[in-house]
Structure 1
């Protein structure tokens, strides 16, 4: 699923490098400052128990319904140290090589990813279309438009066969260990080794 050259890029060059360590350390430090009794941030923010929340457009759609009087807030890009960044994920649209109707499947994919369909309000998960051609779709809705602007700095998750295994079993575990107090560098170095071992088995 990746160009051959991309398979030679080891996880250590990104996740366990200095920038990755700094990002996770910041997260760990923020956790220490977070109120321990608050477990549901989506409701805690509009209720006035949190100063800020990092999330997506699916949150404030719920606020508009459940907290109609909550209007004293602003939405902006995720703060940066060097450059703006975020990741992008979602559903993958594929046509299997064994498909009995490949031409029709391709037509369906083109339809689903057309500007007309992608521009439909809340078409997928109450989110924003990731197509650059539609980046100004919500220009009259500043809150929603902020998420479209953030998408301009998004990087997709790696398209490797075992990504879910790496994400759920390796990276998530490393983050949990860091939250529990283990050294950030140690957990990320070990995660990089584990992930690279998995990547080495990629077809």
Structure 2
């Protein structure tokens, strides 16, 4: 989806051109209403979440009968444009779901209300999820649900190749890929993105595992650091050794078919793959495993997901806070997991029966070691440059030279 970063001034001057015929949700000019006043709270939620929030809001009304929650479902494909247009026209809702990589852009626009850190505590959430909404001592979003990456591999084929133990280190993972390559059924030992949109998500854990960061302590890109070069070097080994395809996957490629057939026996991905494998490749039940991403210097993964944000223009901030408290409480987070299979951002929710009885421990471990994606307004441009760098790397580019080139490009993007 397109996530174009615009300055606040640019949005103000293009409000008419961007108008999508939205109806005003709140003007921000009146007095604030208390949470116990009769009122309507307007909420925008994206994708499948938008269809389900209204249902879970009924339980909220059991304890908050005077707050009518009006949910507008918004497709992810139009969500960014609709939010930018609403910001331009001063027609934002009271509360919205915001993708984690959009936080920096909307912080820069000045439309987000800071989070009350007395009501919401950093220690209740996974650290990287909380930090992804934090800037200059202020927090602008409360983590709602989270996403991460783990390693999926065919245990039966690993045993056939002579490997009985799950990979724990980069060395183990490379050795397993080399063992898979020797099997007659293998086409590519590892589904390892060679560039293409979103491939940065597979490289970032290598950076974090090497001890690196996206930005340095001064807020400048750190993509040519020794740790970044180490990450690029490790990532490149799979292409150099012929273990992974050195061109981007075709649009719409679904690894599960090849995983089920055994032609691609290992890949990194997110929690949704558990159900997808069960649905699309039932013949390999009991023949695969999901384990934490193997570690370099330290264990690491990435974190994504969505945050709940209240807009500065809202006249219903107290009600928005109450609804956010409800949605991020451990009990509701557990209910939400049962409804949507979205992983809770509140760590205490993982002690609820719905999570305790689910096979999700590997994702909790990954979330606890996840590195931080900084809230940059220019994140989509930075991510694109990493994707381009990975495509060049897969074609045999020198890791150090590519890291230096990436650093120069991103320094020009990040102010």
- Normalised by the shorter chain, which TM-score bucket? 0.7 to 0.9
1:60 aligns with 2:274: yes
1:30 aligns with 2:238: yes
- Secondary structure at the residue paired with 2:236? helix
Aligned to 1:187: 402
- Secondary structure at the residue paired with 2:313? coil
Q: TM-score, normalised by structure 1?
A: 0.81
- Secondary structure at the residue paired with 1:188? helix
Aligned to 2:361: 145
Stretch deviating more after TM superposition (101-110 or 54-63): 101-110
Distance, in Å, in 2 between the alignment partners of 1:52 and 1:149 is 19
1:108 Cα deviation (Å)?
Answer: 2.3
- Secondary structure at the residue paired with 2:410? helix
1:114 aligns with 2:247: no
Name which one, 1 or 2, has greater alpha-carbon Rg.
2
Contact 1:84 1:153 in 2 (8 A): yes
Contact 2:257 2:281 in 1 (8 A): no
1:153 Cα deviation (Å)?
Answer: 0.4
Instruction: State the Cα RMSD in Å.
Output: 2.6
- Secondary structure at the residue paired with 1:193? helix
Aligned to 2:411: 196
CA separation of 1:123 and 1:16: change in aligned 2, threshold 3 A = farther
Unmatched tracts of structure 2, length 5 or more: 1-106, 108-134, 138-215
Q: TM-score, normalised by structure 2?
A: 0.43
Unmatched tracts of structure 1, length 5 or more: none
1:21 aligns with 2:229: yes
Contact 2:293 2:366 in 1 (8 A): yes
> Deviation per CA, 1:38-64, whole angstroms, max 9, x where unpaired?
853232112211232211111121111
1:136 Cα deviation (Å)?
Answer: 4.8
Contact 1:88 1:154 in 2 (8 A): yes
- Secondary structure at the residue paired with 2:403? helix
Aligned to 1:155: 371
Aligned to 1:10: 220
Distance, in Å, in 2 between the alignment partners of 1:162 and 1:68 is 41
Residue in structure 2 matching 1:104, options 319, 324, 330: 319
Contact 2:329 2:346 in 1 (8 A): no
Listed as ranges, the matches of 1:157-172 within 5 Å are 157-168=373-384, 170-172=385-387
